[in-house]
Structure 1
């Protein structure tokens, strides 16, 4: 009775249990089933550690020597990709070794699981390879831009070909990855595609339109990122931070457009188009209200873009603005322009106000006039004053002979005559130092000649 109970189906295992290797160590069969797979795993691990050690050791050396096909960004991404590849390869090897050691290959589902694992690994390799190739192409485009700026002429179509080729690689790799992902769940792709086609024709072509909008918005965002990155490296008109802000703004605009279209299409597909229209309208109203409330900011941003395109001044130029404010352009921003005055103060001027002002750019003039007023005793003859001033100017470096300096008597104030001296220099940044040097020279000469000099 007891034996019959023991042999009944109640005590049979209901799940599959892997067979554990129970052979003696050193046995030939044990080596084939356990020893060699483990040794192979150890070998792969050793090679992986050596490869990672080699990459880490030479990474700093490669980073210091940028080439035509790689720079810091490409090397950093390649390092991360190599780490992901090595870890994934070790995981794959561990999976195979565990399957062999514990005889998991005898499980009826092992072929499907293994096929899915290898397909996932192939998808990862395709994504990493596509990303690396695109980064190298972008590096080549940037390198071409640098060479062109330096004077080396190359075909302009090369950069655009690299951009187009990048998107072709993204599209092809995405299709291959998508097919591999689908094949994990079904081997009959023809049946799958026929079912998808029937679903699309039954529901509405709006589904295809939604997919097209998503893909189009994604490609448009990638395209504007590539174009603006190229502008950042080429253009000197635009501040890199401004280009980044423009890039973020365009990305938000495209994303909002895509979300609104997709939102409407989804409600249209489920036959709730009126609700979709209402949601889109409400969203647009909130966006418009936000823009209206930020009217001054938007106006400043538009003015900032106009200033960067027209470029009445560059960073470092000395300008006169706001009627009497003279200073150096410290920063050209998207909302404000920063001016560093002659006293060292930083003044933020809204771009909407800058664009409405008369601007004098001293740095773009061939010469800059420096005006100096000083008083001289009435008893000193005018010819003698001219001689002393001429001698003083000759001893100061940086003053131009053409245009010639001019000296005029402007008015009589009691026992002194007010003179106006105008001299010219190319370096507007030296105005203060030149003015001080000329005053000191005139003072020294007048004192040397024994005349009483009444200062400026």
Structure 2
């Protein structure tokens, strides 16, 4: 019994000895690799922490953290692969799996490296542009216009993304060995395209450029929306919507014609192109009025003849206050309190007088006085009335002129200036009443022109 029990440890000992003899070296290698991995991870983490304490022009804390994580995963991946390489000497199943993996590994590696480089370049670009914006804010760098840096960053960022995706796709395909997926892509995608490959590439290029331009224009309008004091956010949003629709329509038309050209050839293509032109022409004719108003609205925005809240004179001597500007209509309020919506094309057809931007605004009052009254007395009455009237500007000073002769009377004209165009009607009314009162006090009969 005891002898039988003594055989068990002898068998276990021999099994362990055989296992160690066969796998001992591999186990030691795996342990050594894990130790080296832990040391490498710790050393690299300390190095990254040291770099965070230093001032870098292109690298900030976020970029360093991202590099730290990527390197950590790369080291772990290498250790795992080395471990599997060691095990495959003793395991046919692991060996087969590794052969299948390494069949695609070069392509995967190329794609991952390109995407990593793209990500780092974008981060560095953002860091550089942030540094330049701080210099602009401090006045150390002069950039005109100020939004140029943001627009440049946007354009460069999406250019890097686009080029990165293109290089990743074609680089990954080039790194694939012949056969398998590579042959499938060539047979099912490239070969059917044949001579049409340039057209297809142009379609992709058009879509990419259109998307970049769309983001660029949208960014410009968003910047205008934040900075502009002239137009309400609603106007900018309307213009953004129109620009988006225009991008979609134009891009769809170009891409559609190219795709049709890949399928239809000869006379059929010409018929379709002519039909498209005729259809678009008919649409433009139908929408001529709204389009003309929209274009006039754009011209008004660019010309900037008035702002919301300005008092202006438009059309046939319509004096009014501007309430709202849209792409198609401008809403004003007349001095009688009427709310009027005027098509922008009509506003553009007449001259525009902006009283608000004119500073002081001239007000004239004409009176008729007999020959028998000395003009000095008339001038004294008119200037005194102007001085008494609230709202008349001190500079330029009011002036009196002999304007005309009408029978046995002389027409005198008082020229005065008001400070606020919005008070024009009240100030002129008060001025006329003051002239009437002061002429009565002086006993001089004054007639107002009919």
Q: Which residue does the alignment assign to 1:225?
A: 218
- Are positions 1:283 and 2:256 aligned together? no
Q: Which residue does the alignment assign to 1:317?
A: 310
Q: Which residue does the alignment assign to 1:337?
A: 330
Q: Which residue does the alignment assign to 2:299?
A: 306
3-state DSSP of counterpart to 1:205: helix
Q: Is the 8 A contact 1:331 1:339 kept in 2?
A: yes
- Are positions 1:422 and 2:418 aligned together? no
Alignment partners' CA distance in 2, 1:176 and 1:327? 60
Greater CA deviation, 224-233 or 373-382? Answer: 373-382
Q: Is the 8 A contact 2:392 2:416 kept in 1?
A: no
Alignment partners' CA distance in 1, 2:244 and 2:272? 21
Over aligned residues, Cα RMSD in angstroms? 5.4
Alignment partners' CA distance in 2, 1:436 and 1:247? 46
Relative to structure 1, the CA distance from residue 175 to residue 204 in structure 2 (aligned partners, 3 Å threshold; closer, same or farther) is closer
Alignment partners' CA distance in 1, 2:192 and 2:412? 93
Q: Is the 8 A contact 1:367 1:426 kept in 2?
A: yes
The CA deviation string for residues 130-165 of structure 1, in whole angstroms up to 9 with x for no partner, is 9x989x89x979x88x969x9994476523431223
1:77-116 equivalent positions in 2, closer than 5 A:
none
Q: Which residue does the alignment assign to 2:355?
A: 362
TM-score, length basis structure 2: 0.55
Relative to structure 1, the CA distance from residue 177 to residue 445 in structure 2 (aligned partners, 3 Å threshold; closer, same or farther) is farther
Q: Which residue does the alignment assign to 1:400?
A: 394
The CA deviation string for residues 112-135 of structure 1, in whole angstroms up to 9 with x for no partner, is 9xxxxxxxxx9xxx9xx99x989x
Q: What is the CA-CA distance between 1:376 and the residue it aligns to?
A: 7.7
Paired residues in the alignment total 334
Q: Which residue does the alignment assign to 2:254?
A: 261
Alignment partners' CA distance in 2, 1:455 and 1:140? 72
- Are positions 1:159 and 2:147 aligned together? no
Alignment partners' CA distance in 1, 2:357 and 2:276? 48
Q: Show structure 2 runs of 5+ residues with no match.
A: 1-100, 102-111, 174-178
TM-score, length basis structure 1: 0.55
Q: Is the 8 A contact 1:210 1:262 kept in 2?
A: yes
The structure having more radius of gyration, on CA atoms, is 2
Q: What is the CA-CA distance between 1:406 and the residue it aligns to?
A: 1.8
Q: Is the 8 A contact 1:260 1:280 kept in 2?
A: no
3-state DSSP of counterpart to 1:330: strand
Relative to structure 1, the CA distance from residue 151 to residue 400 in structure 2 (aligned partners, 3 Å threshold; closer, same or farther) is farther
Q: What is the CA-CA distance between 1:292 and the residue it aligns to?
A: 0.9
Q: Which residue does the alignment assign to 1:209?
A: 202
Q: Which residue does the alignment assign to 1:249?
A: 242
Alignment partners' CA distance in 2, 1:171 and 1:204? 19
Q: What is the CA-CA distance between 1:287 and the residue it aligns to?
A: 1.8
- Are positions 1:171 and 2:165 aligned together? no
The CA deviation string for residues 220-241 of structure 1, in whole angstroms up to 9 with x for no partner, is 3222222333344455666654
3-state DSSP of counterpart to 1:302: helix
Q: Is the 8 A contact 1:323 1:358 kept in 2?
A: no
Relative to structure 1, the CA distance from residue 236 to residue 215 in structure 2 (aligned partners, 3 Å threshold; closer, same or farther) is same
Q: What is the CA-CA distance between 1:440 and the residue it aligns to?
A: 4.7
